[in-house]
Amino acid sequence: MHAPVELADIAADVLARIRARRPRVHCITNTVAQQYTANILLAAGAVPSMTIAPDEIGAFVGGADALLVNLGTFDSERKSAVGAALAAAESKPWVLDPVFIERSPKRAQFARDLVGRGPAVVRLNGAEFAALTGAEAEPPDCFARAHKTVVAVTGENDVVTDGQRSVTVANGDPLMSRVTGMGCAGSALVAAAAAVERDAWLATVAALTALGVAGEVAAQSAAAPGRFASWIIDALFSLDRATLRARAKVS
Amino acid sequence: MHAPVELADIAADVLARIRARRPRVHCITNTVAQQYTANILLAAGAVPSMTIAPDEIGAFVGGADALLVNLGTFDSERKSAVGAALAAAESKPWVLDPVFIERSPKRAQFARDLVGRGPAVVRLNGAEFAALTGAEAEPPDCFARAHKTVVAVTGENDVVTDGQRSVTVANGDPLMSRVTGMGCAGSALVAAAAAVERDAWLATVAALTALGVAGEVAAQSAAAPGRFASWIIDALFSLDRATLRARAKVS
Amino acid sequence: MHAPVELADIAADVLARIRARRPRVHCITNTVAQQYTANILLAAGAVPSMTIAPDEIGAFVGGADALLVNLGTFDSERKSAVGAALAAAESKPWVLDPVFIERSPKRAQFARDLVGRGPAVVRLNGAEFAALTGAEAEPPDCFARAHKTVVAVTGENDVVTDGQRSVTVANGDPLMSRVTGMGCAGSALVAAAAAVERDAWLATVAALTALGVAGEVAAQSAAAPGRFASWIIDALFSLDRATLRARAKVS
């Protein structure tokens, strides 16, 4: 296992690699979260693209380093975009974010089918994870093992497991839940991390730690969600190794 | 009739209930306004959802406490989403925001048809109201009485009437018209208020007073629309009874 | 040719006319950039609209003073919206922004076809310009002359040419590339300028100078992209002749 300080350093390394290599992350995501997701990726150093047009999504995914599949605003065009994107993704890492599947049985079924297509990471909240596992109510590590993926169940504390290794990331701030698209943007940051770190579990821990620490830094000066939404972008843009070491709560 | 101070207190009560009950508000709205609308709802304490997919909008509306039907970016998919949403809404309150109908005769006709479907509230600006009533040019209170709805015609002053009761809300700041989606977000806040206050007229007065007062608070420190857009979210998030009492101009 | 100080004055004049006349700018643009584009236009004094619905886009373009055709998020609905919009635009100025055509051969071909439809201005970055000209690799002034349009190739320095007159606008800040939709919003501002200045080359120089100077003013107090995104809106809203004269770097 990794010691907490080691994981903070890995988060700093992953951020440094994103800034240096500027990975391209293609995002199939809902229109509510598109702008915020793109701005989080740009602040981290990655290059977002977001088309879902069937004619060209293959070319975009083919030129990308990682892919995000977010199921929010789940229309038919997006559904077919997912198929085309996964066909083009080949061995590139992709992250599944099954937004709001607890509200929509059809969306939940689509998410279950997608888990079988081999995402590197599934990032979701507790209600979404319950909807994904359904009546079986598997714990995250069993689910990760069974489906050979990394599972990140985010909330007040984030649990990240690949079935063998499990940690809790206790960083973040309650204001993060008052900004629309924050979770979606977090999943996109996981995809950017997975583009520069082949160990998807480490990439996920790094991205969620970085975003949580950035949230804490932002909350020091922004006490309400309007300004907080901008300041967490700035905190992520400026995040350094010393701050990650001082603040990371990964255990 | 209610005295102004009483209406300020009702606005504070409605805000307190939104914060405590966290009503779910499903929004069919244009892609330009989605993010800002979601952030205003989250700042107020409500929980937004925004899918328009025909397969699942019924499930979302079925689990929601109120519905917003905004006609901006009026494509065919959204038109059919409205039908499915209203079928699922049953007796839940819904708010109609007929954006830009003065620019598009087909959109205006669709809005007139929707008024017949029983919205709790119709919120729109003066040009949109003129397009809605057409050649007849009814005053808002007659229109409200004839269609058994609440009409809120917003502008420098907002007129809110259910045909029996009419008030003018004189709060707000000119910068509000320089932020895209502000009116749409205001309509969503009316829907959130209607989810926790069965008297739709009171709910509308409360929501528009709260947003107008938040605008005034934000304008005290933000003199231009970029920062103002964030600061009004923060002012709404932090809005308290004393500020509402001191600033509400409802008569 | 115009002296630099004269061009700074023309930029101030164009801004003043946008603020006074409030031109309507209809934008066919990608969902990622819609909100930011609308807020930049509103801050400058213009009035944005953004529908792409085939039933009504003609009415919107018919009532507009200028049109933006942005090819980001290039779905089939947007493709047909472009045809309907250009049919309704008649002699109104329109700006083509062929986003990301270097990533998608089909989008590049569509952009080449659109150049033949007579845009007043084509605004794009260097990679997009290379994709537009393809193997021929024409310089911007030859391309502008051949296609009777203004070409603005933006980057660290912006080159603006109509084939006869060419200038370099050296204003701006690197943070502008870290805000999603900044280039798209810049193209929309060019369209707003073209609505009030019939010389499309002057309009383009004015808009890009104004946005670049606003970026420099914002960067004086915002050191990271989250706050910068709001502050450049504020700087544009407040931009005055003295600041343009002091800062414009057009040669």
Instruction: State the DSSP string of B193-246.
Output: HHHH-S-HHHHHHHHHHHHHHHHHHHHHH--SHHHHHHHHHHHHHH--HHHHHH
Residue C5 predicted with pLDDT over 80: no
Residue C205 to residue C15: CA distance in whole angstroms: 12
Report the pLDDT averaged over residues C231-237. 98
B1: which DSSP letter? -
B143 touches chain C (CB under 8 A): no
**What is the reported pLDDT for A200?**
98
Distance from CA of C54 to the nearest CA of A (A): 18
With an 8 Å Cβ cutoff, are B76 and C56 in contact?
Answer: no
Shortest Cα distance, chain A CAs vs residue C72, angstroms: 7
Q: What is the pLDDT of residue B61?
A: 97
Helix H or strand E encompassing A67:
strand A66-70
Q: Is the pLDDT of residue A5 over 90?
A: no
Separation between Cα atoms, residue C236 and residue A83, nearest integer Å:
42
Burial class (CB in 10 A: 0-12, 13-18, 19+), B145: middle
Identify the helix (H) or strand (E) that includes residue C34.
Answer: helix C34-44
Kindly identify which residue of chain B lies nearest to residue A179, measuring between CA atoms. Answer: B39
Instruction: Give the mean model confidence (pLDDT) for residues A26-35.
Output: 96
Q: Please report how the helices A225-238 and A34-44 are oriented relative to each other, as an axis angle in degrees rounded to 10.
A: 30
Percentage of the residues of chain C whose pLDDT score is greater than 70: 99
CA distance B208 to C206: 39
Asked if the C-beta of C77 comes within 8 angstroms of chain B's C-beta atoms, the answer is yes
Q: Does A237 contact chain C (CB < 8 Å)?
A: yes
Residues of chain B found within 8 Å of residue C235, distances taken between Cβ atoms: 224
Distance between CA B120 and CA B146 in Å, rounded?
A: 13
Quick one: average pLDDT of A100-107?
91
Task: Quickly state the pLDDT bin for C134 (edges 50, 70, 90).
Answer: confident
CB under 8 Å to B189, separation ≥6 — which residues? B40, B41, B44, B46, B207, B210, B211
Does A35 contact B35 at a Cβ distance shorter than 8 Å? yes
Could you tell me which of A73, A44, A42 has the C-alpha nearest to residue A213?
A44
Question: Nearest Cβ partner of C63 from B31, B103, B106?
Answer: B103
Binding partners of A (≥3 Cβ pairs within 8 A): B, C
Is the alpha carbon torsion for B100, B102, B104, B105 positive or negative? positive
Q: Quickly count: other Cβ atoms within 10 Å of residue B137's Cβ.
A: 10
Q: How far apart are CA C139 and CA A142, in angstroms?
A: 59
At residue B86, the pLDDT reads 96
pLDDT score, position C1: 58
pLDDT 10s digits, C34-51 = 999 999 999 999 999 999
The list of chain B residues with pLDDT below 50 reads: none
**Burial label, B220 (beta-carbon count in 10 A; 0-12, 13-18, 19+):** exposed
Q: Considering chain C, what is the average pLDDT of its residues? A: 95
Q: What is the three-state SS of B134-147?
A: HHHCCCHHHHHHHH
How far apart are the C-alpha atoms of B16 and B21, rounded to whole Å? 9
Residue B121 and residue B95 in contact, taking contact as beta carbons nearer than 8 Å: yes
A250 has which bridge partners? Answer: A169
Of B103, B181, B227, the CB nearest to C60: B103
pLDDT > 90 fraction of chain A, expressed in percent and rounded: 88
- Asked whether the ipTM of the predicted complex exceeds the cut of 0.90, the reply is yes
Helix residue ranges per DSSP H, chain A: 4-21, 34-44, 57-62, 76-89, 105-115, 126-133, 140-147, 182-196, 200-221, 225-238, 241-247
Q: Which residues of chain B lie closer than 8 angstroms to C232, CB-CB?
A: 226
Three-state DSSP at A152 gives strand
**Distant-in-sequence, close-in-space partners of B143: CB < 8 Å, separation ≥ 6:** B129, B132, B133, B151
Q: Using the beta-carbon criterion (under 8 Å), do A43 and C227 form an inter-chain contact?
A: no
CA-closest candidate to residue A112, choices A90, A89, A129, A125: A129
- Is the CB of C232 inside 8 Å of chain B's CB atoms? yes
pLDDT of residue A90 exceeding 70, the answer is: yes
Closest-CA residue of chain B to C59: B104
Chain B hits for C233, CB-CB cut-off 8 Å, are 224-226
Average pLDDT over residues C169-176: 97
Average pLDDT, chain A: 95
Nearest to A237 among C104, C181, C225 (CB): C225
Contacts for B161 with CB less than 8 Å, ≥ 6 apart:
B140, B141, B144, B150, B151, B152, B167, B201
Strand bridging mode A158-161 / A150-154 = antiparallel
Q: What local confidence, expressed as pLDDT, does residue C47 receive?
A: 98
Q: Which residues of chain A make contact with C223, given a CB cutoff of 8 A? A: 234, 238
Q: Inform me whether the C-beta atom of residue C221 falls under 8 Å from chain A C-beta atoms.
A: no
- Residue C84 touches chain B, beta carbons under 8 Å: no
pLDDT greater at residue A69 or residue A138? A69
pTM: 0.96
- Give pLDDT, residue C240: 98
**pLDDT the model gives residue A86:** 96
- What is the C-alpha radius of gyration for chain A, rounded to an integer number of angstroms? 16
C180 to A38: CB separation less than 8 angstroms, yes or no:
yes
Query: How far from C22 is each of C65, C89, C108, CA to CA, in Å?
Result: 10, 18, 33
pLDDT exceeds cutoff 90 at C135: no
Would you call B12 exposed, middle or buried from its count of C-beta atoms within 10 A (0-12, 13-18, 19+)?
buried
Output B192 or C2, whichever has higher pLDDT.
B192
Probe site for chain C from B34, B40, B103 (most C CB atoms < 10 A):
B103
Q: In the prediction, which pLDDT does A136 show?
A: 74
Closest Cβ opposite residue B38 in set A74, A100, A180: A180
Q: Is the pLDDT of residue C126 over 90?
A: yes
Beta bridge pairs of residue A49: A26
Name the band, by pLDDT with cuts 50, 70 and 90, for residue C173: very high
- pLDDT category of residue A1 using cuts at 50, 70 and 90: low
Our CA-based measurement puts residue B33 at a distance from the nearest CA of chain A, in whole angstroms, of: 9
| Structural domains in chain B, sorted by start | 4-247 (3.40.1190.20)
SS3 label, residue A138 = coil
Q: Report yes or no: B149 at the A interface, CB cutoff 8 Å.
A: no
pLDDT digits (tens, 9 = 90+) for C76-118: 778 889 999 999 999 999 999 999 999 988 899 999 999 999 9
Give the residue from chain B lying closest to A73, CA to CA.
B51
**Enclosing H/E stretch for A24:** strand A24-28
Whether the CB-CB separation of C231 and B226 falls below 8 Å is answered with yes
- The distance of A229 to chain B (nearest Cα, Å) reads 8
Residues of B in contact with A227 (CB under 8 A): 230-231, 234
- Answer with the residue of higher pLDDT: C67 or C2: C67
Candidates C239, C30, B81; CA nearest to A52 is: C30
Within 8 A of B56 by CB-CB distance, chain A residues are 74, 103-104, 106-107
Q: Bridge-partner residues for B68, per DSSP? A: B27, B95
Across the interface, which of C73, C76, C225 has its CB nearest the CB of A50?
Answer: C73
C180/A232 touch (CB, cutoff 8 Å), yes or no: no
What is the reported pLDDT for B248? 97
Residues 165-204, chain A, touching B (beta carbon < 8 A): 177-181
- Dihedral sign of CA atoms B186, B187, B188, B190 in order: positive
Nearest CA in chain A to C224: A234
Question: pLDDT at position B1, please?
Answer: 58
Q: How many CB atoms lie within 10 A of CB B221?
A: 11
Q: How do the residues of chain C divide into helix, strand and coil, expressed in percent and rounded to 5?
A: 60, 15, 30
Question: Taking residues C154-172, what's their average pLDDT?
Answer: 97
Contact present, A18 and A239 (Cβ < 8 Å): no
pLDDT at position C73 over 90: no
Closest-CA residue in chain B for C218? B226
**Helix, strand, or coil here: B71?**
coil
